[in-house]
Amino acid sequence: MDRLEEELKKALAREAPSDGFAERVAARAASAEKRVAVFPLPRWSMAVAATVLLGVGGGLAYREHRGEVAKEQVMQAMRITAVKLNHIQAHVREVRQ
């Protein structure tokens, strides 16, 4: 490693965030947990819960949940596709150059 690289290591040394960072993160995480604790039931009982909810007009909440799950799967699928295409494009361009 040459002198520039040594200086880069020093310049880019890790720094701590401001005081209380970990506490702020913990607080936000706890707050987020409360918001999503709508279905504390195990997954297998979701079908039962869904039937009850539908029966009392709560179908909307369950539909929302299914939609979010489907959306996350789509986004993950697209992310993986994008990564692979990115690799391929980069390789093709390097070979051309």
Give me the residues that bind other proteins (CB under 8 A), please.
2-5, 7-18, 21-22, 24-26, 28-29, 32-33, 64, 66-68, 70-71, 73-95, 97
Q: Give the residue with the Cβ less far from other proteins, 51 or 86.
A: 86
Which residues lie below 8 Å from residue 46, measured CB to CB, with a gap of 6+? 39, 62
Q: Is 20 left (phi over 0), alpha (psi -120 to 50) or beta?
A: left
CA 61 – CA 57 distance, rounded (Å): 9
Q: Give the residue with the Cβ less far from other proteins, 21 or 41.
A: 21
Residues 69 and 39 sit within 8 Å (Cβ to Cβ):
no
At closest approach, how far in Å is the CB of 76 from other proteins? 7
At closest approach, how far in Å is the CB of 61 from other proteins? 13
At closest approach, how far in Å is the CB of 52 from other proteins? 22
Q: Give the residue with the Cβ less far from other proteins, 51 or 73.
A: 73
Q: Give me the sign of the Cα torsion angle 4, 6, 12, 15.
A: negative
